[in-house]
């Protein structure tokens, strides 16, 4: 075969996604982070971007933060501007599913392409350091006395900390509809509100508040895990007689309209990144639990999560 014919054949195979990952030139990836800087999605997206580059499957990764509506604003931009783009990724997770259920945005997650689940994380509830309350029992007593006086601060409406607060109310005999929840567009805003004493209780993934808890600027009073988190001396809600358990998880999606071959190539790139030293260090630094899942199993998981969250939110009076 002549050299020019060989090169044409090689180009055709690459365009069809038929070459192995190592045969492709490293990509210039675009990462949609559907939240403001400083939160869990932002940290996850940037850690993944660093790992993609360390794995040498990406030459560069650019980031676009678009916060609001539990990720729905970022999702809308991603769906509308990235159609058919094999180098586009979007961070997503349980929070986005909850926001879609409550907000009913004009775009849906099903329009994008599932790639992989990455991690799981449980929420922690914290008090400002100068709070008049000391324990979750103190918070519950005030909640029973005057539900509206307890301001719960966290991510967008429909986030896991919002859902868990409504579940807690139901468990202690308070109407979940009376939960006074203050939603923030990003983790940075929520953190500032808690540190400033502008909310009674704050909720988020443990990693987002860890440095403030260790520094004594926030007091952790409960986690939403089934058992205590490894190496963290914070009681679970169940330990405190409140039968609430709710996990958070994060993953990535690809653009709408990419081919099966492009989806596989993108999935292989992400899975390669999860094996790097950079990603392993991020897991430890952020207290993330690996929860890797891809392919049809991830598709089914997301469908099942939608059903579970919708049922939970209906019971909690949120839908």
In this predicted structure, the answer to whether residue 319 has a pLDDT above a threshold of 90 is: no
In this predicted structure, the answer to whether residue 99 has a pLDDT above a threshold of 90 is: no
Rama region for 80: left / alpha / beta (φ>0; ψ in -120 to 50; rest): alpha
Dihedral sign (CA 309, 291, 73, 303): negative
Instruction: Spell out the residues 6+ positions from residue 271 whose beta carbon is closer than 8 angstroms to its own.
Output: 116, 292, 294
Q: Which residue has the tokens 């301001």?
A: 151
Alpha-carbon distance 35 to 14, whole Å?
A: 34
pLDDT band at 95; cut points 50, 70, 90: confident
Strands, E assignment, the chain: 27-33, 58-65, 88-93, 113-128, 151-154, 180-183, 201-205, 218-223, 247-254, 289-294
Q: Worst-scoring range by mean pLDDT, 41-55, 94-108, 115-129, 273-287?
A: 94-108
Supply the pLDDT for residue 25.
58
Supply the pLDDT for residue 171.
95
- Which tops the pLDDT comparison, 45 or 16? 45
Tens digits of residue pLDDT in 128-160:
999 999 999 999 999 999 999 999 999 877 788
- Which tops the pLDDT comparison, 155 or 301? 301
Tens digits of residue pLDDT in 171-211:
999 999 899 999 986 678 889 999 999 999 999 988 889 99
In this predicted structure, the answer to whether residue 15 has a pLDDT above a threshold of 50 is: no
Q: What is the mean pLDDT of residues 255-261?
A: 97
Contact 193, 182 (CB under 8 A): yes
Supply the pLDDT for residue 5.
52
Minimal CA–CA distance to 202: which of 258, 249, 113, 133? 133
In this predicted structure, the answer to whether residue 80 has a pLDDT above a threshold of 90 is: yes
Give me the helices (H) in 87-159, please: 94-103, 136-145
In this predicted structure, the answer to whether residue 21 has a pLDDT above a threshold of 70 is: no
Supply the pLDDT for residue 117.
98
């Amino acid at each position: 075969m002549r050299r020019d014919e060989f090169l044409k054949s090689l180009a055709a195979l690459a365009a069809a996604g038929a070459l192995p990952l190592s045969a492709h030139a490293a990509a210039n990836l675009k990462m949609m982070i559907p939240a403001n800087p400083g939160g869990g999605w932002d940290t996850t997206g940037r850690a993944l971007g660093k790992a993609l580059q360390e794995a040498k499957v990406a030459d560069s990764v650019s980031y676009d933060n678009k916060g609001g509506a539990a990720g729905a604003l970022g999702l809308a931009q991603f769906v509308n501007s990235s159609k058919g783009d094999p180098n586009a990724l979007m961070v997503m997770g349980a929070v986005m599913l909850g926001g879609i259920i409550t907000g009913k945005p004009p775009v849906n997650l099903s329009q994008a392409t599932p790639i992989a689940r990455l991690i799981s994380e449980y929420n922690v509830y914290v008090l400002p350091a100068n709070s008049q309350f000391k324990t979750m029992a103190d918070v519950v007593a005030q909640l029973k006395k005057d539900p509206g006086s307890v301001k719960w601060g966290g991510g967008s409406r429909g986030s896991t900390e919002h859902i868990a607060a409504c579940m807690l109310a139901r468990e202690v005999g308070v109407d979940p509809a009376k939960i006074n929840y203050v939603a923030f567009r990003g983790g940075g805003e929520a953190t500032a509100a808690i540190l400033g004493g502008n909310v009674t209780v704050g909720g988020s993934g443990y990693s987002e508040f860890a440095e403030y808890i260790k520094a004594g600027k926030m007091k952790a009073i409960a986690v939403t895990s089934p058992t205590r988190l490894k190496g963290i001396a914070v009681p679970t809600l169940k330990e405190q007689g409140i039968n609430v358990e709710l996990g958070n998880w994060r993953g990535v999606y690809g653009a709408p309209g990419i081919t099966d071959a492009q989806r596989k190539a993108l999935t292989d790139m992400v899975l390669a990144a999860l094996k790097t030293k950079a990603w392993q260090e991020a897991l430890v630094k952020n207290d993330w639990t690996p929860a890797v899942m891809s392919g049809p199993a991830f598709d089914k998981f997301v469908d099942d999560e939608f059903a579970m969250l919708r049922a939970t939110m209906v019971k909690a009076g949120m839908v």
